[in-house]
Structure 1
Amino acid sequence: MKTMIYSVFALMLSASALTACSDDEFSGDPAKDWNGTTTFFASTDAAGFGTYYTPSVGRVGDPMPFYDQKAGDFKVLYLQEFTNNMPYRFHPIWAVSTKDGANYESMGELIPFGANDYQQDAALGTGCAYEKDGTYYIYYTGHNGNCKNREVVMRATSTDFKTWTKDELWALNGPDFGYSSNDFRDPQIFVADDNLYHMVISTYPNGGGDPCFAEFKSSDLKNWEHVGRIRMIWDRMLECPDIFKMGNYWYIVFSESYRASWSRKVKYMVASTYEELKSCLNDGPKWAPDGHEGVLDSRSLYAAKTASNGTDRYIWGWCPFRSGSDIHEKNTNVGAGDGNEPNWSGALVCHKIIQHSDGTLTLGAVPAMAAKYNQTVNATVMESNGYNSGSLSGDGAYVLYNRLGTSNHISFTVKTSNVWDKFGVSFVRGTDSKKYYTIVVNPEDDNHRKLNFEQEGEEGKGFIEAADGYWFERPADNTYNIDIYTDNSVLTLYINDVCAYTQRIYGIQKNCWSINNYGGSITVSDVKVSQQ
């Protein structure tokens, strides 16, 4: 009964997070004209996020998106993370529903964790959802260090996607098929070229060796036959695999958990058939022909998986939170670059997958975002240096704009004068700021760019390691069309449908922002800001 009461209470709190926040625009002296000021303001996140879903209590862990054809919407299952988890029992599977990737409705808890410390699914891990003949299946990881096998694959079923029954008599155990008893997780189901259901599971060979995928197949989603194993990339564990066909190409999307600062990102591989896709790993790695090893976003998007409604395919991952509450004193905005790993769990971020003619993928803004951020506000120049009628010239030139709201859509166009011009956009920047945070479009060579994250200002640390993006080709006409969406401290930035960058920057809301130039000259045009 206590668990039921807690779940209902948490559901009420979670649902409340989906309503628009109507707090006082700025705390302090109500007579002060905040819109006319440019000094730093220590703003904090609202209890719930309106676009990048975050429950009022806890955070979003690994998403498991599924398109429900019967209901005509996406169900995004996720591991519900609480601040104070119990030692063995944690990560129940919760869910939200959405039709467009920009507006969410909480469904609360679907699969609870086990009732005691000795049940196999005392803790739940990543899995997937599928539907056949009116029955919904969730295959998930049962995790418990108290059991003979620390991780096994388990399942639950439902006829309405609301009430779920765990299949207590069924499980896939790694050692039965020559795999690890400690790491046997993240099951993902798809239909292969043979029109059978296939499942891949992230694991290791029993007795040691490099990580691999265990592959199974089924004709009915109930009985599974072991097919064999698929190699991963050397010694790198590929988590949260997602295999799908889009148009004429097959893809595997995965989160590479390798701890090097340049890795631990969401990546993909592409081939013409499923068998060729497997060979990209077995005989590879054979990276996607995009010039950056299939990287899809920054290190601030992880555990991402996709789902399609038959027309569009979207990808959901989580943007990590950062520890601490004070923006400057605890350096929470640079925590991913001080040698530490990003925290686990955060806000739910969705992108639209863009497929190019050669099969390569990039990420773009969800179309419903622009419709949601539909209240145009003034973009007023508050201060500038080296700025003249849209032109920024000289190292250190900038134009500072007025304060942002809680959720913002910023768009502008930059045209550089040559192939080495460098520019950026800064947030949490006041006229008195000794530190502020900048996403820099950095020229890596004549023809390639990369988004770097920097803490600028006289007390800034400069380049923040492990928070940068990936190489992309310089636009032939040196024109960069930039769209930025923010929701409290979560930000997504897009350039020309070829580059996506997710980041967590505390204090974006209610502070000024700027466009900067670093040597040479750039032309800025069509600066627009809209809010919800």
Structure 2
Amino acid sequence: MTVMSFCLAAIALFSCSDDKIVGDPGKDWNSSEERYSPVDEDAFLTYFKPALGRVGDPMPFYDQKAGNFKVLYLQDYDDNAKYCFHPYWGVQTTDGCNYQSIGEVLAVGSNDYQQDAALGTGCCYYNESEGLYYIYYTGENADCKDRQVVMRATSPDFKTWTRDNLWQLHGSDYGYSGWDFRDPQIFVADDGLYHMVISTKPSYGGDPKFADFKSADMKNWEHVGQFNMVWERMCECPDVFKMGDWWYLVFSEGQAVNWSRKVKYVKAKSWDELKTCLNDPKVWPDYKEGVLDSRGFYAGKTASNGTDRYIWGWCPYRSGADIDAKNVNVGAGGEPNWGGALVCHKIIQHEDGTISLGEVPAMAAKYNKQQALQVVASNGYANSQLTGEGAYVMFGRLGYHNHISMTVKTEGNADRFGISLVRSVDAKKYYTLMVNPEAGGEKRKVNFEQEGEEGKGFIEAIDGYEVPRPEDNTYQIDIYTDNSVCVMYINDNVCYTNRIYGIQKNCWSINNYGGNITISDLKISQQ
């Protein structure tokens, strides 16, 4: 049997219930040797995306009354109205990977003259003593005196919401910019009072700040000071929480440069100490400068059910004329697109208080249909080993929703390997999550590369962060895909999220770029 015959035979093993492959309807795809060009399904089964539009800036909280997580988000459309855009929509979940839409929660203002003609990021909090849900949100209108102010609405049942039209919090009243005063986040601090952190800038100019307000009743708020962001960078979507003995501030660094615009954190033993962490940005909480994921995950905020804490962010969609144009359209100087699909990770806390992002426990149970593995092409592959530079093993076609898991052990400290997607035996371009040696082999980083004879190689701005090389050179790897969203976890200390079009219905491979690697416990399963 020919190599391509193997690949075509594997379609039945790796496709979902819909075997239709998108492409030229006049072409016999089942006998074609060309790479397929699938498109995403309308429904994302794990990384939620609304049927129309996209998810922007998640606002999760644990609803203790209902016993589930509710994740509000800014509903984004291709044709947002000029003034009235980004209403709050929502989903609910108990496990971070199965969602039920709850539709629109808070509408935009009724006309373009209102302060909240458009809505910006905020938070939701259930006040048990009152039996009321509060949404504190950003009301935005560039035609008003202050473009951004903090506003609120309440509900007794999370269904009917009443705007508090007599209350607004204006940054300009406290020496802050009326143009940038947004993303309120509420939590209870060491003093037992409610605190609200807001992203803003001083009215007189200068570096951005976080503003701190406090309240005893969640109604009347007192300004109690400000604290630094990271140098001159505007840090968005702040989230403050306590986990064990440590306090954390998670934020999204909004500077649009290729090494920034990522979700980061700092940690301390108290709320007061936490506010001083960014006085010297050279003092980071860990070896990766607090970075939690790649630039494929943004606006991350957390919520806990008392046992586990999860973080939700959005994975941006890419635009372009075809699969290859989309996959490299990352934007070294700034993310070209805003909003996308909802991605959830579990917060993993380590003994020293550092945190990383890991797999949501319910994911493996959801991707529970184990698939047969079939090799369709290889070079330098024998007895589960890839020997020498250029060795690879290619497997049959993937479905729309896949879980690839394996253990990879390298022979030397400088060995380099990768997992390629959107691959075929005749591919002139394909895409690799490359585990690359850094710092003379003592560290590792996930790079995204366009390989093949027409490939660009390293794609700037969507690489991961450096982490120490495992002492035993062993990597436990789990990759989850849902249509074009792809998340890679390694050893509970690496999380890498990206958008890669064309994964489904195409082959994939494991590659060796030098030295020897051994592959074990290789499995693939689908929903």
TM bucket, shorter chain: over 0.9
Letter in 1 for 2:406: F
Distance 1:404 1:63 in 2: 29
Tell me how far 1:170 sits from its aligned partner. 0.6
Letter in 2 for 1:171: Q
The equivalent residue for 1:335 is: 329
Tell me how far 1:258 sits from its aligned partner. 1.2
Q: Does residue 96 of structure 1 match 2:94?
A: no
Distance 1:413 1:140 in 2: 45
Q: How does 1:117-128 map to 2 (within 5 A)?
A: 117-128=112-123
Contact 2:390 / 2:512 at 8 angstroms: preserved in 1?
A: yes
Distance 2:484 2:250 in 1: 26
The equivalent residue for 1:303 is: 299
Q: 2:418 aligns with which of 400, 419, 424?
A: 424
Q: Does residue 169 of structure 1 match 2:163?
A: no
Structure 1, residues 488-512: CA drift from partner, whole Å, max 9, x if none?
Answer: 0001100010100000000111110
Distance 2:271 2:33 in 1: 55
Taking a change above 3 Å as real, the CA distance of residues 247 and 386 of structure 1, as seen in their structure-2 partners, is same
The equivalent residue for 2:197 is: 200
Partner SS state of residue 423, structure 2: coil
The equivalent residue for 1:441 is: 435
Contact 1:38 / 1:511 at 8 angstroms: preserved in 2?
A: no
Q: 1:525 aligns with which of 500, 520, 524?
A: 520
Structure 1, residues 377-435: CA drift from partner, whole Å, max 9, x if none?
Answer: 11211100111111111221110000000100000111000000000000000111100
Structure 1, residues 128-166: CA drift from partner, whole Å, max 9, x if none?
Answer: 000112100000000110111000000010011111111
Q: What is the alpha-carbon root mean square deviation over aligned residues?
A: 1.7
Contact 1:38 / 1:382 at 8 angstroms: preserved in 2?
A: no
Contact 1:214 / 1:230 at 8 angstroms: preserved in 2?
A: yes
Partner SS state of residue 57, structure 2: strand
Distance 2:349 2:335 in 1: 31
Distance 1:484 1:37 in 2: 28
Q: How does 1:337-486 map to 2 (within 5 A)?
A: 337=331, 339-445=333-439, 446-486=441-481
Distance 1:204 1:142 in 2: 17
The equivalent residue for 2:9 is: none
Q: Does residue 312 of structure 1 match 2:302?
A: no
Q: Does residue 222 of structure 1 match 2:216?
A: no
Distance 2:363 2:26 in 1: 32
Tell me how far 1:340 sits from its aligned partner. 4.7
Distance 2:475 2:26 in 1: 40
Letter in 1 for 2:36: F
Q: Does residue 188 of structure 1 match 2:182?
A: no
The equivalent residue for 1:137 is: 134
The equivalent residue for 1:284 is: 280
Letter in 1 for 2:301: K
Q: 1:269 aligns with which of 266, 270, 273?
A: 266
Distance 1:111 1:197 in 2: 23
Q: TM-score, normalised by structure 1?
A: 0.93
Distance 1:288 1:309 in 2: 28
Letter in 2 for 1:60: V
Tell me how far 1:22 sits from its aligned partner. 5.1
Taking a change above 3 Å as real, the CA distance of residues 338 and 202 of structure 1, as seen in their structure-2 partners, is closer
Contact 2:258 / 2:334 at 8 angstroms: preserved in 1?
A: no
Letter in 2 for 1:255: S
The equivalent residue for 1:52 is: 47
Tell me how far 1:483 sits from its aligned partner. 0.3
Structure 1, residues 58-106: CA drift from partner, whole Å, max 9, x if none?
Answer: 0000000010001000000000001101111100000000000000000
Tell me how far 1:262 sits from its aligned partner. 0.5
The equivalent residue for 1:40 is: 35
Unaligned residue ranges in structure 1 (runs of 5+): 1-20
Taking a change above 3 Å as real, the CA distance of residues 398 and 37 of structure 1, as seen in their structure-2 partners, is farther
Letter in 2 for 1:417: E
Partner SS state of residue 172, structure 2: helix
The equivalent residue for 1:323 is: 319
Distance 2:410 2:33 in 1: 28
Tell me how far 1:447 sits from its aligned partner. 1.5
The equivalent residue for 1:244 is: 241
Contact 2:477 / 2:491 at 8 angstroms: preserved in 1?
A: yes
Tell me how far 1:473 sits from its aligned partner. 1.0
Taking a change above 3 Å as real, the CA distance of residues 366 and 420 of structure 1, as seen in their structure-2 partners, is same
Contact 2:303 / 2:311 at 8 angstroms: preserved in 1?
A: yes
Contact 2:48 / 2:342 at 8 angstroms: preserved in 1?
A: yes
Contact 1:442 / 1:451 at 8 angstroms: preserved in 2?
A: yes
Unaligned residue ranges in structure 2 (runs of 5+): 1-15
The equivalent residue for 2:101 is: 106
Letter in 2 for 1:411: S
Distance 1:325 1:248 in 2: 50
Q: Does residue 253 of structure 1 match 2:250?
A: yes
Contact 1:101 / 1:350 at 8 angstroms: preserved in 2?
A: yes
Taking a change above 3 Å as real, the CA distance of residues 381 and 38 of structure 1, as seen in their structure-2 partners, is farther
Distance 1:243 1:285 in 2: 18
Partner SS state of residue 56, structure 1: coil
The equivalent residue for 2:12 is: none
